[in-house]
Amino acid sequence: MTNYWIAKYIEDPMRNEPRNVGIFVEHNGAKAARFIGDRDDGTFDARKLGNKFTYPNVYTQWRTYWKREMSSGIETLVRAKTANYFVELGGEVNDVGGDSADEVCTFLFHLIVGGGALDAYQWNVDDDGNVSLATEIAATLDHLQLLESERALFARHPVVKERPVTGHHVTHTPSFSQRNGRLYVFDHIDLNGTRPTKIKERAGLLGYMFSDIRAAENDLQAYSLVRPPMENTSDAIDYAKKVLGSESSIVNWLDANARGAFLEERRNVADAA
């Protein structure tokens, strides 16, 4: 079993806006941690802090304490909580393969604390057709005057692109979202990719995003807009369908009826009072 915890910092307790500053991982009995300011070799470089902390010396002391004491048990660190600094359980990590605790920790740090999915997964900008699918979806929404723009002036609650949404642990940037009291989040995945690992990675990322947002939003409706594969079976596709089906409603974007029903719902949500 592989568990991870997130170190968090709240600059102003009155505003209560936590920021993720570090990751702890416990994997096969080994522990690892990485924090803002750490180099790849684990040494600390204060220059990497920039202006992220009002009192960087206080953060540095907490980082030193967390790294020193984690060998005694990360749950001990969870109990050492203040108004500005604390550690909380993030969850479990599945499908880590043969990765070490340090490798899992580095991946989670980039995903949750650092640059996000592009950084963690080292994806190219256009990876296996996902950008072209997103462009097609956006063009369809814009043509129907549902996408936030000058063309959608009369939509009360238009669909918006890449607006940050705060989850329980992380602030996510789904490809599309819509809110009318209830929050609707939808993202896309092309299952025709030639690299099965990338399909599994993207499906896992979307599943995590939907789950984390749902933990913060009591009434979330999530959709996975899928371009189905030419071949119907593979381990990666089965994995993607299982993960996405458990966290969202899957819409076959190439199926006219499924696509039409999805777009009709977007219209109803956009026009409702």
Residues 148-187: tens digit of each pLDDT: 876 555 678 999 998 999 888 888 889 999 999 899 999 9
Give the model confidence (pLDDT) of 23-49 as tens digits: 999 988 899 999 999 988 888 998 888
One domain, residues 263 and 134: yes
pLDDT the model gives residue 269: 94
Q: Which helix (H) or strand (E) holds 66?
A: helix 56-69
Rg of the chain's alpha carbons, rounded to an integer?
20
Q: What is the pTM of this model?
A: 0.65
Of 88, 121, 154, the one marking the end of a domain is 121
7: which DSSP letter? Answer: E
Split into its structural domains, the chain has a count of 2
pLDDT the model gives residue 152: 52
pLDDT the model gives residue 103: 87
One domain, residues 35 and 8: yes
110-114, 138-142, 181-185: which range is least confident on average? Answer: 110-114
One domain, residues 47 and 148: no
Cα dihedral across residues 67, 35, 163, 242: positive or negative: negative
One domain, residues 166 and 248: yes
Give the range of the structural domain holding residue 228, as residue numbers without chain letter. 130-271
One domain, residues 26 and 115: yes
Of 78, 95, 121, the one marking the end of a domain is 121
One domain, residues 158 and 263: yes
Residue 120, pLDDT above cutoff 70:
no
Q: In what order do the strands lie in the sheet with 182-190?
A: 160-161, 176-180, 182-190, 220-227, 249-252
| CA 137 centroid distance within chain | 20
Residue 125, pLDDT above cutoff 50:
no
Of 121, 152, 181, the one marking the end of a domain is 121
One domain, residues 117 and 149: no
Q: Which two tokens stand for residue 219?
A: 């009434």
One domain, residues 175 and 256: yes
